[in-house]
Structure 1
Amino acid sequence: MTHVRKTAGAAAGALLIALVIAGCGGGGDTALTTTVTETATAAVSTETEASTAAPPTTEPPTTEAPPPMTQATATTAPPEEPAIMPDVVCMNLQDAQDEIQDAGVFFSRSTDATGQGRSQILDRNWVVVAQTPDPGTAIGEGDAVLSAVKIGESDSC
């Protein structure tokens, strides 16, 4: 079918060129225009016939009933244990975030402990000086907040 569309497209393009030439030439070659028109019409007819042809028949899918539910398939997985906040104070910010992820929480937040509101773009250049919540506390996504300063700035570590 792709070949048919390419043929139809080429024929239509040739028709357009012939019509432009005929229009620009003030009379043009009538035989050329007629030939291109017939070719384009035949190609479009072929494409229409190909696209409206009945799809090949396939056997209907078989439907089987699902197996009956047994006690073994009805049981649910045990609930996951909550993530516990690790102690990450005095750690490199990137390493601290990795520890929190290892505990089971993907998303933690960080802030500039100096109060200047700087963003922690390159986490390896920052050190954690405070954390919320305290170590050992159950945490969820976004609960962990790490206060950090740039490495080399005054900190309590």
Structure 2
Amino acid sequence: MFRSSIVARLSGKTRAGFRRGTGVAVTVAALALALSACGADTETGAAEPSTTTTTTSSRPATTSTTTAPASTATSAPAALPRTSTQTPTTTVTLEETVPAAVPAAAPVAEPALMPAVVCMNLQDAQDLIQAQGVFFSRSTDATGRGRKQVLDANWIVVAQSPGVGVPITEGVADLSVVKIGEPNPC
């Protein structure tokens, strides 16, 4: 508060005038920032915005006056002065950039099919599913004790859902597992 009153006194503006000038400056800065943020991102494939260039030139009006010499042989009235006026010329050039065509969508990949992973160690089973193009699969403790599979290589798959050859997407593959060395059908 002290600082703004000193600046106002030095600039000869009252507090209200100082605030009004600051408000205008802030508004202009915000408008400039908003306009500069309107550009498109070319790395993501978005189209370039169209640009318009306007060139205007104008010449001031010029007037020239010429008087024809008077003839001495005749008694005709003196010639009137001729006046020519050039009108101002304005040239406007508009240039518009047409946005680039949007690339066609990538072809849809074949759906991943569930591989046979029963009796494989959990890590190898997950690697095989990932090789099919699905990177998120779930695993659950087949004993019902709710144990978490921290080290995937210490577990063996005893059942899978969905069955072999069924199309799968992310998170659909569910593998039932037990620790290696525990009773299992493998």
Q: TM-score range by the shorter chain?
A: 0.5 to 0.7
Q: CA RMSD in A?
A: 3.7
Letter in 2 for 1:119: K
Tell me whether 1:109 sits opposite 2:138 in the alignment. yes
Work out the number of aligned pairs and report it.
116
Equivalence for 1:64 = 97
Structure 2's unaligned 5+ residue stretches are: 1-35, 37-50, 52-95
How far residue 66 of structure 1 moved from its aligned partner, in angstroms, is: 2.2
Q: Name the CA distance, whole Å, in 1 between partners of 2:125 and 2:100.
A: 48
Bigger share in helix: 1
Letter in 1 for 2:107: P
Tell me whether 1:152 sits opposite 2:169 in the alignment. no
Tell me whether 1:125 sits opposite 2:158 in the alignment. no
Q: Which has the higher contact order (CA 8 A, sep 6+)?
A: 1
Tell me whether 1:143 sits opposite 2:172 in the alignment. yes
How far residue 77 of structure 1 moved from its aligned partner, in angstroms, is: 2.6
Match of 2:125 among 86, 96, 106: 96
Percent identity among equivalent residues?
63
Secondary structure at 1:100's aligned position in 2?
Answer: helix
Q: Name the CA distance, whole Å, in 2 between partners of 1:130 and 1:154.
A: 13
Q: Per-residue displacement from partner, 1:31-55 (whole Å, max 9, x unpaired)? A: xxxxxxxxxxxxxxxxxxxxxxxxx
Letter in 1 for 2:169: G
Q: Per-residue displacement from partner, 1:23-75 (whole Å, max 9, x unpaired)? A: xxxxxxxxxxxxxxxxxxxxxxxxxxxxxxxxxxxxx9x67322467xxx5x4
Q: Per-residue displacement from partner, 1:109-139 (whole Å, max 9, x unpaired)? A: 1011111111111111101011001010011
Secondary structure at 1:111's aligned position in 2?
Answer: strand
> Is the radius of gyration larger for structure 1 or structure 2?
2
Letter in 1 for 2:99: P
Q: Name the CA distance, whole Å, in 1 between partners of 2:100 and 2:174.
A: 48
TM-score normalised by the chain length of structure 1: 0.55
Distance 1:136 1:116, change over 3 A: same
Letter in 2 for 1:78: P
Equivalence for 1:52 = none
How far residue 81 of structure 1 moved from its aligned partner, in angstroms, is: 1.1
Q: Name the CA distance, whole Å, in 2 between partners of 1:106 and 1:140.
A: 9
